[in-house]
Chain A
Amino acid sequence: MGDLREGAALYLRITAARIRAQLQYRASFALETVGMFFVTFLDFVVILIIFANVPALAGWSRAEVALLYAISALCFAFTDLVVGQLDWLSEWVRNGTFDGMLVRPRGTLFQVISSDFQIRRVGKIVQGLLVLVYALVVLDIQWTPARALMLAAAIPVGTVIFISIWVLTISIVFWTVDGREAANAFTYGGSFLAQFPINLYDRWLRRFLGYVVPIAFVAYFPSLYILDKPDPLGLPSILQFAAPVVAVVTAIAAGLVWRVAVRHYQSAGG
């Protein structure tokens, strides 16, 4: 436990230093943050264009899909903020700089995660928040403490699920660096999948990406509960509360796979 607290303190110190450094270049920071905002906003524009053509999508209204989108986008934005640098892992494995992480007195995953922090990615969070506000204003939600709690919990829980999926799938680069792009199907692909009602996907794609890779638990099940919407798939309502358990299981699986994967690391010859 002491280790954990010390690790968190160390992470905060390193991250604070990085943020201070990045804020030195104010114009660059402002431009890139705005850029990040619009990159993700584009996904929502596509949803708006879809609803300019049809009043509902697989039984979900525009505002309901906006809620799905906002939860998915927020979880993914926080994920990207914390572990976005995993995109560089294949480079460190390819050129052998991962060596350095093995000799330091900290876990490798901790070092990878604390190796970078791009404050401009906050632009994505702002975008997600704005769509969330839009959805909550337009939707007529019968608020109860339980529903508010579900919404408040959905963001950290979904973030843990996305982070775990990212760690799990990017581990492939310890076996083959060329496999890097396959992880994108689950990370970026997962956040894309979660932006839409999963009942519109065909059964086997839904089973695989929704339940085996547990993306349905990020936005779909929590949203059903918040909206008090009958599940178009008719699944047991207990699943709407299962996300925290799923997140813990996925996180443990990710930790285990990472350990095994690191043992497969072979430094670059030279």
Chain B
Amino acid sequence: MLASLRADLAMARRGYARYAAYPGAALAGIFTNTVFGFMRAFILLALYQQRANIGGYDASAAVTYVWVGQALLMTVFMWGWLDIAVRIRTGDIATDLVRPIHPLRAALGFDLGRAAYHIVFRGIPPFVVGMAFFPVRLPSEIAVWIAFLVSLVLAVVVSFFFRVLYNVVGFWTTDVRGTMMLGGIIANLFSGFLIPVSFFPDWLAAIARATPFPSIVQTPIDIFVGTVSGPAIVGALVTQIAWAIALGLAARWTFDLGVRRLVVQGG
């Protein structure tokens, strides 16, 4: 038990180190991320010239939503992650299968390390810039901060298993990009990354809330902003845990199913 935990930690350190190796790329990413944050914040603020409250958000909550969202963008990394699909295509996955730790567990450890790097170096800098220019508000209670951090970790886990699901398609077809594109479209909208789920018309919000995607972006943001507060936070975290387990089982099951039909060429 202890040995495998140590292995998880080692994987996380590798995940962190891989992304930490390119500080220049991080700087360029921070710049772009910040520019988009400005545009999105001004667009949402234009809505508040006419209304004081939309879907439980006032103007200050809306800009906070934008900047937390920009901070989460790279951290949850919903789109464009093909680590496992590439290893399936090249056959490197065979090496992973030989190792004493399940490939998904190793990849999850790696991904949590990556997320730790991204929240600190890609998430916090744009957020600080946003704070300087907009009425962003921070949670005042320490308990809310803790709940946010827990929710953030759960968001990364749910996102990870979602990404695994579009990657394992690679066991059956070499064209993973189409699936990823489709998954990305649905995830971008329903996660509440583009615009808060509570801004949706009721019927669309109901569909979104029936999917795991709000657990990836909307839930941690709502806890941070305070639109989900008090006992409701517990409910939100339980929902995230439920999705993490459900998607985790689905990912594990489809991965193992794929492995059974895996053929690696050459030797």
Residues of chain A having any CB pair with chain B under 8 Å: 28, 31-32, 35-36, 38-39, 42, 45-46, 49-50, 52-58, 176, 178-182, 184-185, 189, 192-193, 196, 200-202, 205, 209
Tell me if B49 is interfacial: C-beta within 8 Å of chain A: yes
What 10 A-B pairs come out closest when comparing CB atoms?
A178-B24, A182-B28, A185-B35, A185-B32, A200-B46, A178-B25, A181-B28, A35-B181, A58-B46, A201-B42
A202 to B31, Cβ gap below 8 A?
no
Least CB distance, A163 to chain B, in whole angstroms: 19
Given contacts A50-B43, A53-B199, 19 further A-B contacts (CB under 8 A): A28-B175, A35-B182, A42-B185, A42-B189, A42-B194, A46-B195, A49-B199, A49-B201, A53-B51, A53-B54, A55-B50, A58-B46, A178-B28, A179-B28, A185-B35, A185-B36, A189-B32, A189-B35, A193-B39
B199 to A181, Cβ gap below 8 A?
no
Tell me if B178 is interfacial: C-beta within 8 Å of chain A: yes
A192 to B36, Cβ gap below 8 A?
yes
Binary flags per residue of B177-215, CB closer than 8 Å to A gives 1, else 0:
110011011001100001100011100100000000000
**Among A39, A49, A189, A202, which residue has its beta carbon within 8 angstroms of that of B181?**
A39
- What are the residues of chain A within 8 A of B181 when measuring CB–CB? 32, 35-36, 39
CA distance A39 to B43 in the complex (A): 20
CA distance A123 to B50 in the complex (A): 35
Residues of chain B having any CB pair with chain A under 8 Å: 22, 24-25, 27-29, 31-32, 35-36, 38-39, 42-43, 45-47, 49-51, 54-55, 175, 177-178, 181-182, 184-185, 188-189, 194-195, 199-201, 204
9 residue pairs bridging A and B, Cβ less than 8 Å apart: A45-B189, A49-B204, A50-B43, A54-B51, A178-B28, A196-B46, A200-B45, A201-B38, A205-B39
CA distance A193 to B39 in the complex (A): 7
Least CB distance, A229 to chain B, in whole angstroms: 16
Contact of A42 with B42 at beta-carbon distance under 8 Å, contacts A28-B178, A54-B51 already known: no
- What are the residues of chain A within 8 A of B42 when measuring CB–CB? 200-202, 205
**Among B27, B185, B199, which residue has its beta carbon within 8 angstroms of that of A39?**
B185
